[in-house]
């Protein structure tokens, strides 16, 4: 798979003197890959994403998005990238939902018919056609997120960047959103970069997880399973392992060594198999 | 452009005092007018509208030494009485930033407040004429802004004219008697004879400068006001069309 | 717009001037402003400016930053000065200097006095609508500045700002001002609501009790009175003006003394070139 993002050894200092240094591993994203950046609050996830969006200029290091330095040439690649900011309110611009979703294509100079078709498409896909004439600022949190996402997806980007998209959503909305993102990623081969501090959603959406410690150090990279089995790494980042991961580790203390699994279905399956195995053994002895 | 940026101490004191008194009287009338209105909901609106005006006024468009006032927005959104109060607040606060002189706050409130008040009435008159097309709110606001700015700028030039400010006249005594003595700068000049002529030339140059640059400013401000009011009318029509004070 | 930094200066400063009571500082500022109004003499104005500069040094805040904040209004004074240009630099210079002095006096007041204290000091003279309006305007400015940053960011990442498409950019940004108004209003309203829930009843900052004239308060009053009497003297007494050059020297001495006191007397306390 082609590499579309690479960030290496970036250094950034906020005007008030807060220093961030994204060192350790390189941050790499491939075409169609679903990447999660996992790190505690204040570790620098948003800062890293802002660099990808060309909003910040690093004082040192290398950043490459779709083959260009995004801090210099973001204009060249902006049509290939969609964004959902941490606080959706901050990216809603226009007075109605329709106007807002069509904002980017209109500004990129698409033809009227094309704009209409694209917006209809995305509205359909996200199931928000009933909101089209409403004022986005007076919608519920979940609806706002969907409007923001629609505005990001409307131009069919190859890379979708989402900053803590699950924050503040109730469990149903959250599962909805996860399903939606997975579908988008599958259907359009859209790469996802999702920052979060919420471990429980990670296994459901990530191909690759990057683990970020305070100050911006990237300390780990791997599949969710690989990351969640490295307890020391997790505690270095002040992240408690997911409940299921912890369960399997506890079981080891009782001498029950099972494959770690991070989704409820899989875990149930493994444990059930083990039971069957035990009971067979017992009846065999008896 | 209608904002007077005459530094403290250039205008004659009688004019400054009249400006303050007139502003005080109008403020009193405005406050009386809103006395019976539930102000709880309006205060935050005054706050944000004034804040927007302050930001607009302190962002100077350098090449034409112009800054936008957005006072017509205040008039339309807050109504004439609260709009005038808001303009006073703005003038007071930017004077605290050292912007534009403290003594002229009274006169400035008169001029800019005129924009807000006239803008409000013109907007509603135009809205009545253009009735209910989709763009009417924005268009009316833009036209109202253009007209109010022309009126207020004329008022401003008028004020400068009645002030008979001829810096030459105010200052020449000092120049001759002191600076002339200490530094002996420049030849001794007889300006008494040319006084009347000088004054006329002075106000003319001033008016020309102001009007020339003003045209760009008026158009810009009219466009901005139009866009803003169009936005507000689509998202919160209640802010524009509900009963106002 | 430097409101953020002004607010920071006013709240974080620890100098003599910061400690003086707001009311006396306001009175002193009024004295200085009156002096500027009545003075038409370039040398006296220059002296006043230098003395004010020595006050800036005494605030122990970044000197150049404050001078530049206060220099801003001069841009507009230049317009006026040009219109009265007459082969002669004295008059335009006087006009610009007047603007600079008045602005500096005001700026010194507000970088040493938090806004709410200024408001509550003048509260007995202002009706409640205006007072509350002033306070909410002040708070709304911070809300607005943050919203403006967010708006610009949103416009950039969503294609609202493109190189060379000026008309489109302007129309996007100005529609954005409408958005700022609406969102700012919602936030401002929430703020006001919270103030009321927390028992707000018309008083914002704690009112300074009738405290006695302290050491800190004498300084600004004395300063204001000194400048006022000098400029009155210069205005009324023709002979006084002959001493203008001494006045100028005196003010330079002021600057040197305060610079010595703040920057060299105890070098760890002063910060000169920062920002
Ligand atoms: N505008 C800012 N100015 C100064 N410091 C900031 C700013 N934004 C973020 N920071 C600091 O940078 C660090 C990383 O912040 P951020 O990237 O927002 O973290 P995260 O998104 O992982 O929660 C934090 O210590 C935060 O306090
Ligand atoms: Mg963040």
pLDDT tens readout for residues B129-152: 877 666 688 899 999 999 999 999
Q: For residues C203 and C195, what is the distance between their CA atoms, to the nearest angstrom? A: 11
- Neighbour count for residue C32 (Cβ, 10 Å): 29
Would residue B2 count as lying in a domain? Answer: no
Spatial CB neighbours of C94, under 8 Å, sequence gap ≥ 6: B167, B171, C40, C41, C42, C45
**Mutation test residue for ligand 1: of A7, A47, A56, A164, the one with most atoms within 8 Å of CB:** A47
Nearest one of C78, C68, C89, C88 to B213, comparing CA atoms: C78
Q: Is the pTM of this model over 0.90?
A: no
Residues A121 and A201 in one domain: yes
The yes-or-no verdict on residue C116 having pLDDT over 70 is: yes
How high is the mean pLDDT of chain A?
A: 90
CA C149 to mean position of chain CA atoms: 24
Tell me the pLDDT tens digit for each residue of A90-126: 999 999 999 999 999 999 889 999 999 999 999 999 9
Nearest one of B13, B5, B20 to B107, comparing CA atoms: B20
Residues A71 and A175 in one domain: yes
- φ and ψ at A24, to 5 degrees? 90, -120
Residue ranges around ligand 1 (CB below 6 Å): A 14, 16, 18, 20, 39, 41-47
**Which residues in chain A have Cβ-Cβ distances shorter than 8 Å to C163?**
75
Q: For residues C122 and C139, what is the distance between their CA atoms, to the nearest angstrom? A: 18
Tell me the pLDDT tens digit for each residue of A138-187: 999 889 999 999 999 999 999 999 999 998 888 998 999 999 999 999 99
Containing H/E element for C1? none
Q: For residues C63 and C85, what is the distance between their CA atoms, to the nearest angstrom? A: 31
CB contact burial A252-268 (16+ within 10 A = b; e otherwise): eeeeeeeebbbeeeebe
Q: Could you tell me the residue range of the domain that residue A20 belongs to?
A: 3-238
The yes-or-no verdict on residue A241 having pLDDT over 70 is: yes
Would residue B87 count as lying in a domain? Answer: yes
Tell me the pLDDT tens digit for each residue of A183-205: 999 999 999 999 998 888 898 99
Residues A55 and A159 in one domain: yes
- Neighbour count for residue B141 (Cβ, 10 Å): 30
Ligand 1 atom nearest A39 alpha carbon: 22
**Which residues in chain A have Cβ-Cβ distances shorter than 8 Å to B234?**
95-96, 135
Q: For residues C255 and C46, what is the distance between their CA atoms, to the nearest angstrom? A: 12
Would residue B70 count as lying in a domain? Answer: yes
Q: What is the pLDDT averaged over residues C86-104?
A: 81
**B241 or C9, higher pLDDT:** C9
Interface ipTM: 0.81
Q: For residues A133 and A120, what is the distance between their CA atoms, to the nearest angstrom? A: 13
Q: For residues B49 and C136, what is the distance between their CA atoms, to the nearest angstrom? A: 10
CB contact burial A86-120 (16+ within 10 A = b; e otherwise): bebbbbbbbbbbbbbbbbbbbbeebeeeebeebbe
Give the A:B interface size as CB pairs under 8 Å: 7
Q: What is the pLDDT of residue A277?
A: 80
- Subunits adjacent to chain C (3 or more Cβ pairs under 8 Å): A, B
How high is the mean pLDDT of chain B?
A: 77
The yes-or-no verdict on residue C83 having pLDDT over 70 is: no
Say if CB C1 and CB C149 are below 8 A apart.
no
Task: Return the beta strands (E) in chain A as ranges.
Answer: 3-13, 19-22, 27-30, 34-38, 60-65, 81-84, 159-163, 191-196, 208-212, 218-222
Q: What is the pLDDT averaged over residues C78-92?
A: 70
- Subunits adjacent to chain B (3 or more Cβ pairs under 8 Å): A, C
Strand, helix or coil at A262?
Answer: coil
| Max CA pair span of chain B | 70
Interface test with A, best of C2, C151, C157 (most A CBs within 10 A): C157
Task: Count structural domains, chain B.
Answer: 1
Q: What is the pLDDT of residue B60?
A: 67
In residues, how long is chain C?
Answer: 275
Q: What is the pLDDT of residue B181?
A: 35
In residues, how long is chain A?
Answer: 286
- With CB atoms and an 8 Å threshold, state whether C160 touches A151: no
The CATH number of residue B171's host domain is 1.10.1760.20
Burial class (CB in 10 A: 0-12, 13-18, 19+), B237: exposed
Which positions 140-159 of C are in contact with B (Cβ < 8 Å)?
Answer: 140-141, 143-145, 148
- Neighbour count for residue C242 (Cβ, 10 Å): 13
The least confident of A67-71, A148-152, A275-279 is A275-279
Closest residue in B to A136 (Cα) is: B235
Sign of CA dihedral C43, C45, C46, C50: positive
Residues A108 and A228 in one domain: yes
Task: Count structural domains, chain A.
Answer: 2
- φ and ψ at C198, to 5 degrees? -85, 15
**Alpha-carbon distance A135 to nearest alpha carbon in chain B (angstroms):** 6
Per DSSP, A256 falls in state -
Would residue B6 count as lying in a domain? Answer: no
Would residue B205 count as lying in a domain? Answer: yes
The yes-or-no verdict on residue A87 having pLDDT over 50 is: yes
Whether A137 and chain B come into contact, CB under 8 Å, resolves to: yes
Residues A145 and A277 in one domain: no
Give the ligand whose atoms come closest to the C-alpha of residue A16. Answer: 1
Q: Could you tell me the residue range of the domain that residue B143 belongs to?
A: 13-239
Percent of chain C with pLDDT over 70: 85
Q: For residues B46 and B61, what is the distance between their CA atoms, to the nearest angstrom? A: 25
Closest residue in A to B230 (Cα) is: A95
Residues A176 and A34 in one domain: yes
Say if CB B90 and CB B57 are below 8 A apart.
yes
Which positions 195-234 of B are in contact with A (Cβ < 8 Å)?
Answer: 231, 234
Q: How confident is the model at residue B174 (pLDDT cuts 50, 70, 90)?
A: very low
């Amino acid at each position: 798979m082609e590499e579309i993002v690479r960030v290496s050894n970036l250094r950034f200092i906020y005007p008030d003197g807060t220093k961030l240094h994204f060192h350790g591993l390189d941050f790499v994203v491939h075409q169609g890959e679903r990447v999660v950046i996992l790190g505690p609050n204040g570790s620098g996830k948003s800062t890293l994403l802002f660099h990808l969006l060309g909003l910040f200029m690093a004082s040192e290091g290398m950043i490459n998005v779709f083959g260009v330095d995004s801090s210099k040439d973001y204009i060249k690649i902006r049509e290939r990238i969609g964004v959902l900011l941490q606080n959706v309110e901050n990216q809603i611009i226009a007075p109605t939902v329709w106007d807002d979703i069509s904002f980017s294509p209109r500004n990129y100079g698409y033809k009227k018919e094309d704009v209409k078709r694209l917006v209809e498409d995305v509205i359909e896909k996200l199931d928000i056609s009933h909101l089209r004439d409403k004022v986005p600022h007076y919608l519920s949190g979940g609806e706002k997120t969907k409007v923001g996402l629609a505005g990001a997806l409307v131009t069919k980007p190859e890379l979708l960047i989402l900053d803590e998209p699950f924050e503040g959503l109730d469990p149903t909305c959250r599962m909805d959103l996860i399903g939606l993102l997975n579908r988008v990623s599958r259907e359009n081969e859209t790469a996802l970069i999702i920052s979060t501090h919420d471990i429980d959603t990670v296994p459901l959406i990530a191909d690759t997880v990057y683990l970020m410690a305070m100050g911006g150090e990237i300390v780990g990279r791997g599949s969710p399973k690989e990351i969640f089995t490295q307890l020391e790494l997790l505690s270095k980042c002040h992240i408690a392992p997911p409940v299921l991961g912890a369960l399997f580790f506890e079981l080891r203390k009782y001498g029950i060594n099972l494959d770690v699994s991070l989704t409820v279905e899989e875990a149930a399956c493994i444990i059930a198999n083990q039971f069957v195995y035990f009971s067979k053994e017992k009846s065999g002895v008896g | 452009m209608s904002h007077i940026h005459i530094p403290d101490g250039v205008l004659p004191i009688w004019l400054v005092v009249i400006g303050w008194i007139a502003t005080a009287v109008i403020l009193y009338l405005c406050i009386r007018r809103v006395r019976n209105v539930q102000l709880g909901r309006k205060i935050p609106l005054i706050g944000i509208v004034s804040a927007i005006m302050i930001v607009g006024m302190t962002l100077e468009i350098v090449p034409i030494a112009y800054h936008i006032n957005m006072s017509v927005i205040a008039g339309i959104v807050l109504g004439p009485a609260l709009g005038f109060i808001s303009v006073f607040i703005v003038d007071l606060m930017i004077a605290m930033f050292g912007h534009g002189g403290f003594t002229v706050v009274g006169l400035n409130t008169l001029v800019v407040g005129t924009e807000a008040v006239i803008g409000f009435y013109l907007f509603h008159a135009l809205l009545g004429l253009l009735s209910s097309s989709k763009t009417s709110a924005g268009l009316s606001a833009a036209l109202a802004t253009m007209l109010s700015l022309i009126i207020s700028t004329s008022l401003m030039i008028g004020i400068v004219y009645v002030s008979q400010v001829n810096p030459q006249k105010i200052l020449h005594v000092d120049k001759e008697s002191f600076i002339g003595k200490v530094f002996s700068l420049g030849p001794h000049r007889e300006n008494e004879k040319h006084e009347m002529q000088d004054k006329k030339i002075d106000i003319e140059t001033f008016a020309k400068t102001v009007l020339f640059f003003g045209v760009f400013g008026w158009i810009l401000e009219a466009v901005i006001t139009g866009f803003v009011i169009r936005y507000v009318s689509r998202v919160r029509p209640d802010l524009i069309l509900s009963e106002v004070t | 717009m430097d409101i953020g930094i002004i607010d920071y200066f006013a709240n974080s400063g620890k100098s003599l001037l910061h400690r003086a009571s707001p009311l006396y500082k306001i009175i002193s500022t009024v004295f200085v402003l009156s002096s500027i109004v009545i003075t038409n003499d370039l040398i006296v104005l220059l002296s006043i400016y230098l003395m004010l500069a020595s006050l800036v040094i005494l605030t122990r805040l970044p000197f150049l930053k404050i001078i530049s904040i206060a220099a801003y209004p001069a841009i507009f004074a230049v317009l006026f000065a040009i219109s009265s240009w007459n082969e002669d630099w004295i008059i335009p210079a006087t006009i610009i200097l007047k603007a600079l002095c008045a602005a500096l006096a005001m700026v010194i007041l507000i970088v040493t006095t938090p806004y709410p204290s200024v408001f509550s000091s003048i509260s007995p003279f202002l009706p409640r609508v205006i007072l509350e309006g002033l306070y909410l305007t002040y708070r709304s400015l911070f809300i607005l500045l943050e919203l403006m940053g967010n708006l610009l960011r949103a416009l950039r990442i969503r294609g609202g700002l493109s190189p060379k498409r000026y008309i489109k950019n302007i129309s996007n940004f100005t529609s954005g001002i409408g958005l700022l108004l609406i969102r700012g209003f919602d936030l401002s309203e929430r703020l006001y609501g919270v103030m009321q829930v927390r028992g707000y009843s018309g008083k914002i900052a704690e009112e300074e009790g009738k405290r006695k004239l302290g050491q800190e308060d004498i300084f600004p009053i004395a300063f204001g009175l000194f400048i006022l009497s000098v400029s009155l003297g210069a205005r009324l007494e023709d002979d006084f003006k002959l001493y203008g050059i001494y006045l100028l020297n005196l003010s330079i001495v002021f600057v040197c003394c305060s610079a010595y006191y703040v920057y060299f007397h105890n070098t760890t306390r002063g910060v000169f070139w920062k920002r």
